[in-house]
Amino acid sequence: MTSTFPPDFLWGAATSAYQVEGAVDEDGRAPSIWDTFTAERGMDSGADACDHYHHWPSDADLMAQLNMNAYRFSLAWPRIIPGGTGPVNRAGLAHYDRMVDGLLERGVTPVPTLYHWDLPQRLQERGGWTNRATAEAFAAYTDVCLDLLGDRIDTWLTVNEPWVVSVLGYRLGLHAPGEKDLRTSILVGHHLLLAHGLATDRIRERRPTARVGIPLSLFPNYPATDDPADVAASWASDGYTNRWFLDPVLRGHYPADTAELFERLIGPMDWVRPGDLDIIGNRPDLIGVNYYTRRRITASQDELPWRVLPAQEGVPVTDSGWESVPEAFHELLVRLHRDYDVPMLITENGGVWNAQPDSDGRVRDTGRVHALREHLRALSRAIDDGAQVLGYLHWSLLDNLEWAEGYAQRFGLIHVDRSTQRRTVKDSARYFAAVIAANAVIDVSDQSEGRS
């Protein structure tokens, strides 16, 4: 086991527009569903967020200083085409034009995501993702982005985490637009995958040398016991969280067992039209892997025949209560290689550690340092075991708006003071910079880990 990485490995961090940009009323941007959702519920919003819209040059300087050679960010659809369709907002486009040039000048490869959940509100008023026309509008939006940036972008990401959008936004009501219906959530998931497929076609037609991928939220599922009922429930949960998106994208069909379960619960999925799965299954160049934790599953008599258990006693957890399980990360990557033989880019990995600056101004986020080191070791083992991994982009560059959780959870390598927007590089960022410089997982002293 070498604990090293390929010489052309991408090293960096990730953000999304609504979580960091702020400036929601500037330069022609129109409201997104998240502006509406947070306003209606009186929640923390992205109105100012990290003000990355104005601070991106100094944030990019920090990336370069921390040895990063890649930055995943998202393009804001309501900033580029405020109505979702129709006139293009040149001021919004100019912002991303400047930012891409600025990143390249600093030796940082831009890795844009076309959609990271901030659907234009005007499209929502026409049905949002329940409306098949939204997928077609997304393809047209992709064309606009290719017109502006296609000459400088080598890797495009399409639709971030369709499982989270469909389940948290349309089944559980926790995310925008706040609907609660299983049938609607499955319909939305299909339209999100269709949008990915249509965008993939556009990118391949117009920029055939570029790579295109889809970032998926992937959760390894483990049965709580060896009881056959728990084992079956775990496999069913895997179909719901993972295979329902991996199989159509990489194999051109939905998994039969999960489709049978859904149709038993909601009736026929008559929104799947002839040819849809050919579009969705136009195999991408890579899968974006967003990994945070595992799911421990037990059988249930509920509508969906499984239940997710809380953190197991004795397993390390983040400040949000999620288990931190590097071995599950390794097993996920090896499984993806074995079952799908697909190149991967780690597009998100991290966790919540809410360390604040100490009296000397230093942010000693020891928990994140430890978790980062162990997850990178697991990643290196997966590469040794044959997984083709192109890079690692940590979530997140900055402490930002964590959607419905507001600003209470801190995922960033860089601390952001909410009142002043001051940036403070955390111990985890310094450790990450040292790993990048070595292109290998390194051990660090207690002092450099930030232990007091």
Positions marked catalytic: 161, 348
Beta-bridge partner residues of 214: 287
Distances, alpha carbon 253 to alpha carbons 162, 166, 186, 276, in Å: 16, 18, 15, 10
* Under 8 Å between Cβ of 297 and 230: yes
Counting beta carbons within 10 angstroms of the beta carbon of residue 196, is it exposed (0 to 12), middle (13 to 18) or buried (19 or more)? buried
- Degrees (nearest 5) of the Cα angle 160, 117, 132? 90
Instruction: Please list, in sequence order, all residues whose beta carbon lies within 8 angstroms of the beta carbon of residue 25, skipping any fewer than 6 positions away.
Output: none
Buried b (16+ CB within 10 A) or exposed e, 364-395: bbbbbbbbbbbbbbbbbbbbeeebbbbbbbbb
Taking the C-alpha atoms of residue 319 and residue 114, their distance in angstroms, rounded to an integer, is: 30
Those residues with Cβ within 8 angstroms of residue 58's Cβ, 6 or more apart along the chain or in another chain: 423
7 CB-near residues (< 8 Å, 6+ apart): 439
Do residues 398 and 423 touch, judged by C-beta distance below 8 A?
Answer: yes
Contact status, residue 82 vs residue 28, Cβ threshold 8 Å: yes
Q: How far is CA 78 from CA 4, 62, 432, in A?
A: 41, 27, 33
CB-based contact 427:369 (threshold 8 Å) = yes
**Contact at 8 Å (CB) between 343 and 9?**
no
What does the alpha-carbon distance between residue 230 and residue 161 come to, in Å, rounded to a whole number?
26
Rounded Cα distance, 310 and 317, in Å:
11
Q: Is 359 exposed, middle or buried (0-12, 13-18, 19+ CB in 10 A)?
A: exposed
Rounded to whole angstroms, the Cα distance separating 432 from 350 reads: 12
Tokens of 196: 């990915």
